[in-house]
Amino acid sequence: MQPNVERLCAHCGYDLRATPAGRSCPECGLGHDDLAHEPLAHMPLFMVRRFRNGSWLAVFSLLSIGALAATALGIGRINGVIIGFTLPFLVLWPLSIMLMTPAYPLRAAAMRGFNGRSRLRAVARVSQCAWLIAFVCVLFITRMPALRVPLVLAILAGLIGLGCVAVLMERLSEWVCDTTAERAFNWAIWTMPISLVLSLFSISIGSAGVWIALRPVVGLFIVSSFLALPCGFF
């Protein structure tokens, strides 16, 4: 028994839920491409390989960047070793997004934003290069204070792009029936904006009043929000 989920003809978009499996589309008469809701292993091999490589690259890049950022915060400065390791990962991260967000030649993919004309896909792909720009601004901001404006704009662009990435990955997870990844990306979509506000709030008030007691809980929430992305990719 198949679940009552949306099944669309890959040729004309006709709803095939009432059509027995294996039958041709009653609207256009062509054999239907039942890839609207299939496990990733049942997708074409090129899609499986591309998404697998991109997801591993994304997990590796995100965890490495997070570890390097934690190290920089721990020692209170950015030294040459941290710079040397961070730059390659800031290049690999947008590359991983490029690998996972191609324009798939399937109607089911186009309906979820994976087509050449999708603005969501374009923003997700281009905006992640902003993190590299932001990092370069951080390196030179003490000598060039005018870089503060480009730094803020780059961070905003990167955060907006992260939201777009999470939305696309949530749709892809729903497409390939990966409920665990879908929940992880859903968590990231709804909690990343809240985490950003909490981060800015904690910086602005420092150690004032009751915030000292709430800081561990808020910190755990922020960490879980941003760890949702590598968990979803994994």
Which tops the pLDDT comparison, 213 or 131? Answer: 131
Same domain, 22 and 84: no
Instruction: Specify if 85 maps to a domain.
Output: yes
* 70-88 per-position pLDDT tens digit: 777 677 677 777 778 888 8
**What is the model's pLDDT at position 167?**
86
Domain contains 45: yes
Report the share of the chain in percent with pLDDT over 90. Answer: 1
Q: What are the residues facing 8 on neighbouring strands?
A: 15
Tell whether 121 is covered by a domain. yes
DSSP string, 93-110: HHHHHHHHS---SSHHHH
Residue 24 main-chain phi, psi, to 5 deg = -70, 160
Coil vs helix vs strand at 15: strand
Query: Does residue 233 sit within a domain?
Result: no
Straight-line distance from the first to the last Cα atom of the chain, in angstroms, rounded to the nearest whole number: 30
Q: Confidence class of residue 13 from pLDDT cuts 50, 70 and 90?
A: low
pLDDT grade for 34, boundaries at 50, 70 and 90: very low
User: Would you state the pLDDT for residue 33?
Assistant: 47
Question: What's the mean pLDDT in 7-20?
Answer: 67
Select the highest-mean-pLDDT range: 44-53, 60-69, 128-137, 205-214: 128-137
Query: Do residues 169 and 134 share a domain?
Result: yes
- 89 and 118, same domain (yes or no): yes
- How confident is the model at residue 170, as a pLDDT? 82
CA–chain centroid gap for 214, Å, is: 28
pLDDT at 210: 45
Domain that holds residue 21: 1-34
Residue 108 in any domain: the answer is yes
Same domain, 28 and 44: no
Residues 169 and 59 in one domain: yes
**Are residues 120 and 57 part of one domain?**
yes
Asked whether residue 6 is domain-assigned, the answer is yes
120-157 pLDDT, tens digit each: 899 989 998 998 898 888 888 888 888 888 888 888 88
For 25-74, the DSSP string reads PTTT-SBP---SS--GGGS-HHHHHHHHHHHHHHHHHHHHHHHHHHHHHH
